[in-house]
Amino acid sequence: MKFFAVLALCVVGAIAAPLSADQAATVQSTWASVRFNEVDILAAVFAAYPDIQARFPQFAGKDLASLKDSAAFATHAGRIVGFISELIALVGNESNAPAVNTLIGQLAASHKGRGIAPAQFNEFRTALVAYLQANVAWNAAVESAWTAGLDNIFGLLFAQL
């Protein structure tokens, strides 16, 4: 019982820790420098984790280099990366918490229905962070701002998956 109470507190704690104004600005400005590289970002995720690519019926088993040039890939990349942009636009303002919850709730519901497990979302996170490290001006402050933001988002997501 105690264990679950502590666990529940941790989950709530993870959700309830908003980013500072500085952290939010850092996440938003670094994201602004790559947010339109949608195809590049999704391709980096698939390259790092072919098991994620394999879950997309349209893309499973196909050669990534040629997929990258297809309209279908661009459309999907736009949806997924665009979703991240929607979330990032909302961070740093507590009044946006309900909107963030709604978006994460939709993501959790649609992906739960597809049987996507937390482990695969963690892979996505790792690949996204690696992409950022390689493509934005990265330093310890940038890293801790992104860690805080992603911890919040993944905390909310995993509570609903």
Ligand X SMILES: *[C@@H]1O[C@H](CO)[C@@H](O)[C@H](O)[C@H]1NC(C)=O
Binding site residues, ligand HEM, CB under 6 A: 52, 55-58, 79-80, 83-84, 107, 110-111, 114, 116, 120-121, 124
- As measured in angstroms, the least distance from the Cβ of 99 to ligand X is 7
Segment 96-125, which members bind ligand X (CB under 6 A)?
96
* Contact (Cβ atoms closer than 8 angstroms) between residue 20 and residue 149: no
Give the C-alpha separation, 83 to 79, whole Å.
6
* Contact (Cβ atoms closer than 8 angstroms) between residue 152 and residue 15: yes
CA 106-108-69 angle, to 5 degrees, is: 85
Segment 45-64, which members bind ligand X (CB under 6 A)?
none
Q: Which is nearer to ligand HEM, 91 or 107 (CB)?
A: 107
Segment 68-97, which members bind ligand X (CB under 6 A)?
93, 95-96
* Contact (Cβ atoms closer than 8 angstroms) between residue 33 and residue 15: no
Q: Which residues bind ligand X (CB under 6 A)?
A: 93, 95-96
